[in-house]
Structure 1
């Protein structure tokens, strides 16, 4: 897809306008986000992504539109995994519920800027070194296997561990031990200090970089168009804040999510290897975008249904055990 500098500029300006509208309408005043508000804004961002995809269909054709929707759904599903870590971060820094929306908004913006850098670097590497598809494919297959191993391990005691950048910031710049509203810096005893608000925002933004290490190669496995890669990431990330509040209570019920994500990453990894072999002149079949989109959607649907069913059975078993224990004690 041939994208001019003008279209790039208009797209970025449009995204900035949408982000500003999101902030001034729903996020300017710190408050606890209700399920109704989170659901409304989640629907708005999904609708905006759908409209953008339809625009690509009208002006670019079926191929770019299919690549966008496949990329958006993949990035959206992978971003749900981010929410588990975001919950741990919020708990570790004891972020008051009234400030969590602001933390996520700024943290996601930091993540989007950092991902833009990854996307630019990835596009440049792909344009000059076609063999990188072998590396991307192998990395995704390895990541898929690692996800399965983590899913099978007991992770009930999992805690968030700060990355090196965050530890460096905390060592070099002194901070207060309590929140001061939404202020990022305060002056105490003549010294300028960071607040926990800034630290947790950096934690959200920089932690996302770790997730980008597998999500960016994954979307490049679906499309090599930097414009589609960037916009799919932007729409997926910008709805992440509302999704956090909407399904925060359901995260523990998605017990099979890691298995589903591992299947998706493994599938895209195989797709990348086949594409690399095809580019090298080897006569192998390639997986089309419609097939990729179908597989991704099917895996997510099956994973969600089996997760909810397993959670329901587990809740019923726990209730039965509790009743039996009460009877014995009685």
Structure 2
């Protein structure tokens, strides 16, 4: 897709305007209700759909298909990110009324960092076609790693600060408590970071680790930097509202990691086939409609089986509690009254 500099500028300005509106709406610290989160989640999805339809009208079916496949993939990977965001919020004991501000700035940091990753990835791929082999192998390895992690016992899972964050804390120091939405304060004659700034940096820099999976994944669906960037932007910009909307549902998506591993493995194979094709080897390539169909099918099946498994587990736990409580109840009932 041939994208002019003017279109790039207009797109970035438009996304910046949407971010400004989002910031203006959530500028006052407050607890985000399910209704508010649901409304804005729908708004962001509708905006993404309208952008995709715009690509269909002005660019054709190929760019539109690539955008929707990329957006759905990035959105599903972002849901997996929310598990870690929950751990970070708990680690720093973020007050509920400040969580929406933390996520807004954290996601903005992540978006800027991903833009750098995307620019670098596009430049590398345009110069070295063999990088497709590396991306494909990395995604297949990541898919296998996700399966191994899903099978492991994650009950002791805990988030740990990365080295960059630890270095910043040592260099500037951190206040002992939150000071509203302030990022810096004067403490003992020294300017130090507040926990609010630390947790924002934690959200933003942690997302870079997720970008190591998601950026190769979307490049496996399209090599157009414009589509890669916009799909990532729309997937990330609605992440704050999605956090509050499905926060309680996350624990029920017990098969999500399996579904994501299938998607990443599928895209990894697609990348390897594309690399072979570019090398002159006659192999079949996986089309965008097929990719979109596989991604949507896997996510639908994963969601259904996850909810069924969660419901079955809840029923089993309830039955076990009744069984454990029955003998005690009988003893209490048989005791003589004083």
Alpha-carbon displacement from aligned partner over 1:31-66 (angstroms, at most 9, x marks no partner): 000000000000000000000000000000000000
Alpha-carbon displacement from aligned partner over 1:219-245 (angstroms, at most 9, x marks no partner): 000000000000000000000000000
1:2 aligns with 2:2: yes
For 2:205 and 2:251, locate their aligned partners in 1 and report how far apart those are by CA, in whole Å: 24
**Aligned equivalent of 2:104:** 105
Which structure 2 segments of 5+ residues have no match?
330-338
**Aligned equivalent of 1:246:** 245
For 1:208 and 1:221, locate their aligned partners in 2 and report how far apart those are by CA, in whole Å: 20
Matches within 5 A, 1:139-154: 139-154=138-153
For 1:90 and 1:188, locate their aligned partners in 2 and report how far apart those are by CA, in whole Å: 24
Q: Give the CA deviation at 1:189.
A: 2.7
Matches within 5 A, 1:133-282: 133-282=132-281
1:131 aligns with 2:130: yes
Structure 2 counterpart SS, 1:248:
coil
Cα contact 2:172–2:191 (8 A) shared by 1: no
Which structure 1 segments of 5+ residues have no match?
none
The number of aligned residues is 329
For 1:328 and 1:242, locate their aligned partners in 2 and report how far apart those are by CA, in whole Å: 46
Q: Give the CA deviation at 1:329.
A: 1.6
For 1:82 and 1:183, locate their aligned partners in 2 and report how far apart those are by CA, in whole Å: 26
Structure 2 counterpart SS, 1:33:
coil
For 1:328 and 1:8, locate their aligned partners in 2 and report how far apart those are by CA, in whole Å: 70
Alpha-carbon displacement from aligned partner over 1:200-228 (angstroms, at most 9, x marks no partner): 00000000000000100000000000000
For 1:188 and 1:81, locate their aligned partners in 2 and report how far apart those are by CA, in whole Å: 37
Structure 1 counterpart SS, 2:167:
helix
Q: Give the CA deviation at 1:190.
A: 1.9
Alpha-carbon displacement from aligned partner over 1:265-321 (angstroms, at most 9, x marks no partner): 000000000000001111100000000000000000000000000000000000000
User: TM-score, structure 2 length as denominator?
Assistant: 0.97
Cα contact 2:77–2:214 (8 A) shared by 1: yes
For 1:62 and 1:326, locate their aligned partners in 2 and report how far apart those are by CA, in whole Å: 61
Structure 2 counterpart SS, 1:21:
helix
For 2:177 and 2:308, locate their aligned partners in 1 and report how far apart those are by CA, in whole Å: 41
Q: Give the CA deviation at 1:192.
A: 1.0
User: TM-score, structure 1 length as denominator?
Assistant: 0.99
Q: Give the CA deviation at 1:188.
A: 2.1
